[in-house]
Structure 1
Amino acid sequence: MKIENNNTNIIKRITKSSLKSNKTRNIFVIVAIILTTFMISSVFTLGISFAKNYAIMNLRDQGTTASTFLPNPTDKQIKEIIDLNVAKNIGKEINAGVVSSKELSKSKTTISLKYLDKTNWEKQLSPCISDIKGDYPTKENEIMISKISLKFLNKEDAKIGDKIKIPCDINGKVSEKEFVISGYFTSYAYIQDSGDIFVSESFIKDNNLTLEKNGQLLITLQKNGKAKAPELLEKEVSLKKNQKFEYNYDVEQDSEGILLASISIVSIIGGFIVFSGYLLIYNILYIAVTKNIQFYGLLKTIGTSPKQIKKIVRGQGLRLAVIGIPIGVALSVLVSYLIVPSAIEGMSSGTYYASMMPSEIYFTPLVFLGTILFALITILISCKKPAKIASNISPIEAMKFSGKKSKKEKKNRNSTKGGKLYKMAWYNVFRDKKRAILVFISLFMGIMTYLSVNTFMNSISLENYANRYLPNDFEMQNYYDDNSTLDNKVIEEVKNIKGVNSVEVLVSSFIQMDMNEKVLMPALEGGYSMHGGDLEELDQYLKNIEKDPSKLVPMVVGLEDKTIERYNKAINKKIDIEAFKKGDLVLIDGFYYNDEAKLDFSKEKITFRNSKENKSKDFNIELMPNENAILPIHSDQTGIPVIYVSSSTLNKLTKDTRNYLVYVDVKDSYDSSVKSKLKTLASKNRFYLTSKTDTMNDFEKSSMMMNLVGGGIAIILILIGLLNFINVMVTNVNVRLKELAIMESIGMTKKQIINMLTLEGAYYAGITTLITCTLGMGVVYYIAELTKKIVDYAEFVFPTIPLVSLVTLIFAVCLITPSIVYKYSSKASVTERLREIEN
């Protein structure tokens, strides 16, 4: 009968002494734990922070959390909607009028006066704006104003409590009113050309404005009923003539898609990190146990039970974890504070969304608890196998331990081919299949973790950003007012500047167009909904056009052949480019169209008329997908899309054209001198000038930290992978030292042994490379596709240089490590090593 002794204090002392005697091992394990903990925590913090910031950016872009709108609702309709129980919240908005001034008209900007009820303000708008100071107005003469509106009114220094005079157009009557600023905020939606001023309920009542005549209902749908809600609303709510529900894109669903893509990338990389960390810790502990296996055997001879030996091994791992995990978490918090905001900022810098994207860091307790739990589980699992080996081995087996499985194998003694080194090496690689798989996984994980991070970083590189948003070296654009003189004379001056390679001119004009309701009504309805207009205004606009067709004058932009060719190359769905050049086809900007994919204009035609010159022409049309930045022109008329034709066709239709946008490309060596001359021209002739190098420099500065982070993470990860392999090979050679000594004693030379071990390393490297180039590339491509869902300018770049560099490095390490380990471990003579076996 076996009676287990109770030597808890002794076990603790042995654990402590064992730790002290293995300082080198301890350092490696602690570093492995710190790296694993740090990487898991940092990657998940970055992923969660990006996803949450992106969701806020999306809300800011939309301007409201509501996705369904009903203009001019009646009390009965509101009750019917409430009774359907499909709404999470229902807000009310009343259009009080607009600010009327010549300066705003010249610059083609608008400032709207609106009233929002408490639900609309607190639950639907507030999440979409920032820097809210003060309170929503309650008195008749109080207003809350957006900062952009203050800028438009040249009152940027105004503060809460200041009085401000504003010329207001209310129900067609213009009068100057004095208001007191009760608060201000930063808005984001339509930031370039419009602002908002919010008035009180008292102001609305004093001016006889009502929800039914002047407002709209904003509905935020419940998450679990979004799919069925539109059909239910259309069916159950009694709508008036010309009244219909309008729907925005589902910003929450879009954010969920980005969140899912972010979580997927983080999970893949996090999974690689966790597994790589496990392998690293496991290998170090395994080496330590196998090297001290005789020590554990001796412990058994003095009465130490298997359970107590397991406790000793586990205790060592947990004590090291107590040191490594807090350091890893602390480093993660510190580094996250420094790099996460910069990394997020860098991902949107220079784009349309730059001002909307917050860069807050989100520390979620679950991430840290999960990281600590992951690290502990990883350490406990890593200790399990070494502890099992140490606890199960008998004192006699411990003295003879070689790390090999005692398994009889059939040999073909009639064959002489078994003595060839490459065959022996192949046999040694796969004779312990579990060990071989461990090596392959260790190498594969290191490579894939590095390539995954590298692919993500390269997908959102500066070059990809420039290809999408900065196709030309310079852009010159007319001001909205009439004082801008970007005329042909200026363009000739530009063409004559030394170093200029090419100049593309996009001309524009306003041309009368015949009404085509199938083509224009979806855009008009989308535009009026987007800008908070109501259907009565749209009806009045349509009646005016019916009375006087010359009032329908969309902006028509003429494109040069080079411009349309570049555009066609950039989009997924190609157009008939020859038909466009000939003047048979025009493109319609899809900005105001909500469901582009569902619209089919293939059988439709539009007609342009020039009454002054008695000219007209019919065109086939195609809706332009909103997926590129090559033609960044949108209409300043609500709901009226911009229409693109070839320059030659536009010049035939009318002589009354204006140079709207000019693309300039220059030789690299002349960029600085051309920029200086263009800036002088821009200042003199009043037009906008955008420089590719200036924008890229701004983007590069903000993304420098992100690249530093990505590069740092990638280096750490490949370091973990290489350490894993080296540890595996050290383990592999160490457990075979006695076997190799026997082989040497029967005539095998050291050179032959080294050649055999080198071939084993070559097999490991070759098979790992094969797995990486097949399965690994599938993972890399999947990560690139996920990245495209997060960042619109992301492009898949095959990691040729990183892959070739890694394969070269892996082969070098695999070929060199085994021989170095063997040389280091076999300094003693064959006789001395064989005596160790006998002992």
Structure 2
Amino acid sequence: MTLPLENPTGAILRRLTRRSLQSEKRRNGMVVIAVALGAFLLCLAGTIGASLLQIRQDQITDTYEATYAGVTQADIAALKEVPEIARVGTYYVLSTENSPRGFQATYLYVDQDLLYTFRHQMSLAQGRLPQGDHEVALGADWLAQYANGAGLGDTVTLDTPSFSGTYVVTGILGQETAAGAEFPMVLSHAALEGWADYDPAGYLAYVHLAGDQALSAEAIEAFYRQTAEDLDLPVPGFSNVYFRYHDSSYLREVLPMVLVLGALVLAGGCLVIQSIFRISIQDKIQSYGQLRTLGATARQIRRMVHGEGRRLGSLGLLAGVVLGALVGLALFPQGFHPLYYAAAILVTLVIGGGMVALAVRKPAKIAAGIAPLEAMRFVPDQRAVPPRRAGRGTFSPRALGWRNFRRDRRKTLSIALSLSLGGILLLNIASISLVQDPARMARMEFPLGDYKVYLSSDRAHADILAQGNPLTPALQEEILAIDGVTDVVVTRQSLSLRYQLAGDASVHSTGMGDVLTQQNWDAVSAALLAGTMPEGDRSVLVASHVAEAYPEIAPGASLVVEGGGDPVTVTVAGVFDATKTAACGGGHGNLGLDAAVLYAPAGLFQQLLPGAAPLDYAWSVVSDPSQDQAVAAGLEALVARHPEVGLDTYASRVEAFRQSNTMIYDALEVVSWLILLFGVVNLVNTTLSNQLTRRREQAMLRTLGMTRRQLGTMIAWEGLCYALTAAGATLAIGLPVAVGVCRTVSSLSYGGTIVPYQFPLPEMALFLGVLFGLELLLSGWSIRREEKDGLLERIGQRP
């Protein structure tokens, strides 16, 4: 005898699958939402990673690999004659000057090749580069703020010390190259040569090598070093951004983040979808038993369940991929690349399809493994608590809620894990963001006060000191006279130095040398990586990045150092980590490029530049926080009167750190909340399922005398157990991980310093509020739902 479903009839299975889908609209919606959420997160991460990769590739493709600083026009012409060099861009920074109108103007000279090389940082949106003495190219922002919206061909007035007068606007820059109140102003070569402080050897050459993609980073660097030797040029500097991409390390940095997110989404999605399907299988287990009685094989039942998963998964994947790609494109439209986006979508489809297949596998096995007679006797979600845990048989509402919570351990574990996964991620991300809090990071560079006054001039440092250091006792008295200023502390004594390896002139460079004092001795000593602290006036410490760039410069090596006077031969006593000395020798200004590269006793500086005293380079201004506005206004006015004095503020550094860090952590916090939605979907589905499967049971309890309030207590207590379990798992697992991760991040961010761990109270309070608030809403909904049908109707319903 042949039973109806004994033969594998595909049409019948497809029809049964379609009917099953039509009867499970709630389950279908939950599965589609869970799959779409996972696909959205994966696709968004993939498209953002692809966009950032494309943006980085655009920035370094056909751009410069090396720079030669301090070269002449003849040197640039010689570089252009080298056959292997495809392009040489010419760049000259004239000066940065303060305007009485409250902005800083940075005057530049660039040629067309340099403008093409810098096309992603600074472009010429309209017009042409200046050619005459009184022509200028300006940014649109400056024209709007300070020239009443003047345009091409209009005349504008500049009022800085070196370049005052009327200029004709020949070009409008597409991007500003500096933040805040600092604006680039491009002048002509004729204006450059007519400038009073023009140095014929002050050009920078940005060089691009033909066929660079076919060469290794080592080969490119070797070529530029050899070219410098052949043409008697300074040692070249290299573009870190270019070589970072050239070595594909950027891809290696992005890929692990995408894989970690993929693993989290895969884990969360599998837990939720499996829980949804398993509850659905329990609700329909008798139907599967009837199919088995009619002749359906276990393999056919599995195919039905997998078919439902594939159909629902396809809908969710399509919705999630489309939404993720659109959001990624909206966030980074300039990074769109069809091939990269296609790869991100393909990876999302593969991982999402695997997630659905893994999640459905266990429920399908349960449905296929049930025997027909066992299926007829099966009552879903009615597992008894093991006798050894039954206690004394208390039947209070709280005890019944606790027993309901413990009925199905796998369901309980699934909900707790899916809810706590997002909480753990949120706890770690919020903790890391507090470690790298902009205010905390800025305070490491401003330990004494909120303001620093320092030397800021385009003239040679030795010339400034020889003619009289602007940081004089009289200036100190001016600062102390400002309302709210309580003290002025000398934080750096420095001299601009040129140094080379004794006996090898090819190994040379320049940088700031700082005086070792009683105030900075301990900090520098703590940053020592190799060797010893200097002993005597003829020994120095060198920064770690100098020793890495020139392996010959190591403890015991001899250097010839010049500082404006006769050269002095010194011995390298040790190497220090420059990242650990920000408080005593950090850079100033927007770029912070004047950090110390050498430390030496005061006696050496007297030999390098005799009679140049004092060597004060930076002062910290201590002030009353309640008078911050008056102090800021007074210092800005003082700096405007002294063109060779710069001002660096705690507030500006906080803003700089905030712009670089906050967006990343805000995005990661959004991702953690989205992952939390997996648990929310799981919890909502479980609550709805409980409402359906326990209606008869709860009606029986009402007939035995349980009041509506007691029923509500029982339901609320079960929900509270879920919330408490998820919160406990989040803290028990997430807190130790967060502490360990924060220690690592702190060490990397603060040069080995471990800052105290700070618990992210607002974020976690919001997480717990959402968690317990959701449980309260679901419990209230369940109670109201129970009142819609009469007790006799619910007692007569099948569970």
| Contact 1:314-1:383 at 8 Å conserved across structures | yes
- In the aligned structure 2, how far is the partner of 1:426 from the partner of 1:473? 56
Partner of 1:370: 347
The one of 439, 446, 450 aligned to 2:426: 450
Q: TM-score, normalised by structure 2?
A: 0.64
| Contact 1:474-1:690 at 8 Å conserved across structures | yes
Q: Which runs of 5+ in 2 are unaligned?
A: 96-105, 117-127, 132-174, 178-200, 220-234
Tell me the SS of whatever aligns to 2:619.
strand
Partner of 1:435: 411
Counterpart check, 1:716 vs 2:674: yes
Shift of 1:266: 4.0
| Contact 1:248-1:594 at 8 Å conserved across structures | no
C-alpha change, 1:195 and 1:221, in structure 2 (3 Å) is closer
Partner of 1:632: 586
Partner of 2:205: 196
Partner of 1:279: 271
Partner of 2:616: 659
Residue pairs, 1:93-104, within 5 angstroms? 98-99=71-72
C-alpha change, 1:412 and 1:318, in structure 2 (3 Å) is closer
Tell me the SS of whatever aligns to 2:578.
coil
- In the aligned structure 2, how far is the partner of 1:117 from the partner of 1:607? 31
Q: Which letter does structure 2 place at the counterpart of 1:446? A: G
Partner of 1:821: 782
| Contact 2:553-2:572 at 8 Å conserved across structures | no
| Contact 2:540-2:571 at 8 Å conserved across structures | yes
Shift of 1:771: 3.2
Shift of 1:372: 0.6
C-alpha change, 1:157 and 1:416, in structure 2 (3 Å) is closer
Partner of 1:34: 36
Q: TM-score, normalised by structure 1?
A: 0.61
Q: Which segment is superposed worse, 726-735 or 314-323?
A: 726-735
- In the aligned structure 2, how far is the partner of 1:790 from the partner of 1:362? 35
Counterpart check, 1:328 vs 2:316: no
Counterpart check, 1:810 vs 2:783: no
Q: Which letter does structure 2 place at the counterpart of 1:462? A: P
Partner of 1:491: 476
Shift of 1:488: 2.9
Shift of 1:36: 0.6
| Contact 1:116-1:198 at 8 Å conserved across structures | no
How many percent identity over aligned positions?
A: 20
Tell me the SS of whatever aligns to 1:403.
coil
- In the aligned structure 2, how far is the partner of 1:746 from the partner of 1:382? 40
| Contact 1:596-1:625 at 8 Å conserved across structures | no
- In the aligned structure 2, how far is the partner of 1:264 from the partner of 1:199? 31
Shift of 1:39: 0.6
Shift of 1:723: 2.7
- In the aligned structure 2, how far is the partner of 1:455 from the partner of 1:53? 29
C-alpha change, 1:556 and 1:147, in structure 2 (3 Å) is closer
Counterpart check, 1:267 vs 2:259: yes
- In the aligned structure 1, how far is the partner of 2:703 from the partner of 2:794? 10
Tell me the SS of whatever aligns to 1:36.
helix
Partner of 2:636: 679
Shift of 1:37: 0.5
Counterpart check, 1:156 vs 2:110: yes
Shift of 1:493: 1.3
Q: Which letter does structure 2 place at the counterpart of 1:437? A: L
Q: Which letter does structure 1 place at the counterpart of 2:274? A: Y
- In the aligned structure 1, how far is the partner of 2:327 from the partner of 2:670? 11
Q: Which letter does structure 1 place at the counterpart of 2:646? A: Y
- In the aligned structure 2, how far is the partner of 1:359 from the partner of 1:627? 36
Partner of 1:181: none
Tell me the SS of whatever aligns to 2:476.
helix
C-alpha change, 1:633 and 1:455, in structure 2 (3 Å) is closer
Shift of 1:155: 4.0
- In the aligned structure 2, how far is the partner of 1:639 from the partner of 1:715? 40
Shift of 1:492: 1.9
Shift of 1:716: 2.0
Q: Which segment is superposed worse, 246-255 or 680-689?
A: 246-255
C-alpha change, 1:100 and 1:502, in structure 2 (3 Å) is farther
Residue pairs, 1:173-252, within 5 angstroms? 195-196=204-205, 220=217
| Contact 1:45-1:336 at 8 Å conserved across structures | yes
Residue pairs, 1:681-696, within 5 angstroms? 681-686=638-643, 687-696=645-654
Partner of 2:153: none
| Contact 1:590-1:626 at 8 Å conserved across structures | yes
Q: Which letter does structure 1 place at the counterpart of 2:485? A: V
- In the aligned structure 1, how far is the partner of 2:452 from the partner of 2:304? 70
Tell me the SS of whatever aligns to 1:710.
helix
C-alpha change, 1:750 and 1:372, in structure 2 (3 Å) is same
Tell me the SS of whatever aligns to 1:477.
strand
Tell me the SS of whatever aligns to 1:643.
strand
- In the aligned structure 2, how far is the partner of 1:295 from the partner of 1:711? 43
Q: Which letter does structure 2 place at the counterpart of 1:487? A: T
C-alpha change, 1:19 and 1:509, in structure 2 (3 Å) is closer
| Contact 1:761-1:818 at 8 Å conserved across structures | yes
Partner of 1:535: 504
Q: Which letter does structure 1 place at the counterpart of 2:504? A: L
| Contact 1:261-1:787 at 8 Å conserved across structures | no
C-alpha change, 1:462 and 1:789, in structure 2 (3 Å) is same
Q: Which letter does structure 2 place at the counterpart of 1:438? A: S
Q: Which segment is superposed worse, 153-162 or 16-25?
A: 153-162
C-alpha change, 1:59 and 1:621, in structure 2 (3 Å) is farther
- In the aligned structure 2, how far is the partner of 1:45 from the partner of 1:498? 53
| Contact 2:306-2:360 at 8 Å conserved across structures | yes
Tell me the SS of whatever aligns to 1:504.
strand
Tell me the SS of whatever aligns to 2:546.
coil
Shift of 1:711: 4.0
Q: Which segment is superposed worse, 477-486 or 302-311?
A: 302-311
C-alpha change, 1:454 and 1:400, in structure 2 (3 Å) is farther
Q: Which runs of 5+ in 1 are unaligned?
A: 65-92, 102-109, 122-134, 137-143, 165-185, 202-217, 223-244, 343-357, 513-519, 529-533, 542-551
| Contact 1:421-1:755 at 8 Å conserved across structures | yes
Shift of 1:497: 1.3
- In the aligned structure 1, how far is the partner of 2:708 from the partner of 2:593? 85
- In the aligned structure 2, how far is the partner of 1:718 from the partner of 1:193? 57
C-alpha change, 1:639 and 1:535, in structure 2 (3 Å) is farther
C-alpha change, 1:511 and 1:787, in structure 2 (3 Å) is closer
Q: How many residues align?
A: 668
How far does the alpha carbon of each residue in 1:675-695 deviate from its partner, in whole angstroms, 9 at most, with x for none?
333333223211233334345
Partner of 1:466: 442
- In the aligned structure 1, how far is the partner of 2:7 from the partner of 2:440? 68
- In the aligned structure 1, how far is the partner of 2:206 from the partner of 2:79? 6
| Contact 1:583-1:646 at 8 Å conserved across structures | yes
Q: Which letter does structure 2 place at the counterpart of 1:378? A: M
Residue pairs, 1:346-745, within 5 angstroms? 363=340, 365-393=342-370, 400-404=377-381, 416=392, 428-468=404-444, 473-478=450-455, 479-481=457-459, 482=463, 485-506=470-491, 508=493, 524-525=500-501, 535-536=504-505, 555-557=513-515, 561=519, 567=523, 589-594=543-548, 623-628=575-580, 629-630=582-583, 631-632=585-586, 641-643=597-599, 656-686=613-643, 687-697=645-655, 700=658, 705-706=663-664, 708-731=666-689, 734-740=692-698
Q: Which letter does structure 2 place at the counterpart of 1:37? A: A
| Contact 2:90-2:110 at 8 Å conserved across structures | no
- In the aligned structure 1, how far is the partner of 2:549 from the partner of 2:72? 32
The one of 89, 93, 105 aligned to 1:145: 89
Tell me the SS of whatever aligns to 2:110.
coil
C-alpha change, 1:555 and 1:784, in structure 2 (3 Å) is closer
Partner of 2:166: none
